[in-house]
Amino acid sequence: MTGAALLAHGTATGPPAWLIAAALPLAGGALYLAGVVALARRGAGWPPGRLRAALAAAGCAAVALAPPVTARADTFPGHVAQHLLLTMLVPLLLALSAPVTLALRTLPRRPRRVLLGALRSRPARVLTAPAVVVVLELGSLAAVYLTPLYGLLHASAALHLLVHGHMVLTGCLVSWLLVGADPMPRRPGTPVRLVVLVVLAAGHAVLAKTLFATTPAALGAAGEVRRGAQLLYYGGDVIELLLAVAVMAEWWRRTGRRLRAEQRRELASPASDRSV
Partner 1 sequence: MAPPADPRARALSGRSVGTGVLIGVGVAGFVDEVVFHQLLHWHHFYDRGTSAAGLVSDGLFHAFSWTAVVVGLFVLADLHRRQATVPRRVWAGGLTGAGAFQVYDGLVHHKLLQVHQVRYGVDLLPYDVAWLVSGAVPLVVGLLLLRGPARPLADVRR
Give the footprint of partner 1 on this chain (CB under 8 A): 194, 197-206, 209-210, 212-213, 230, 233, 237, 240-241, 244-245, 248-249, 251-252, 255-256, 259, 276
- The distance of closest approach from Cβ of residue 206 to partner 1 in the complex, given in angstroms and rounded to an integer, is 4
**Which residue, 155 or 213, has its beta carbon nearer to partner 1?**
213
Q: Which of 227, 87, 73, 84 is nearest to 150 (CA)?
A: 73
**Which residue, 18 or 251, has its beta carbon nearer to partner 1?**
251
Q: How far is CA 82 from CA 100, 124, 195, 252, in A?
A: 25, 28, 26, 32
**Which residue, 185 or 203, has its beta carbon nearer to partner 1?**
203
CB atoms within 10 A of CB 113: 11
- The angle that helices 130-146 and 190-214 make with each other, rounded to 10 degrees, is 10
Q: How far is CA 90 from CA 52, 53, 54, in A?
A: 13, 9, 9
- The distance of closest approach from Cβ of residue 202 to partner 1 in the complex, given in angstroms and rounded to an integer, is 4
Q: How far is CA 69 from CA 34, 77, 91, in A?
A: 29, 10, 18
CB atoms within 10 A of CB 85: 19
**Which residue, 6 or 225, has its beta carbon nearer to partner 1?**
225
- The distance of closest approach from Cβ of residue 98 to partner 1 in the complex, given in angstroms and rounded to an integer, is 21
- The distance of closest approach from Cβ of residue 249 to partner 1 in the complex, given in angstroms and rounded to an integer, is 8
**Which residue, 58 or 138, has its beta carbon nearer to partner 1?**
138
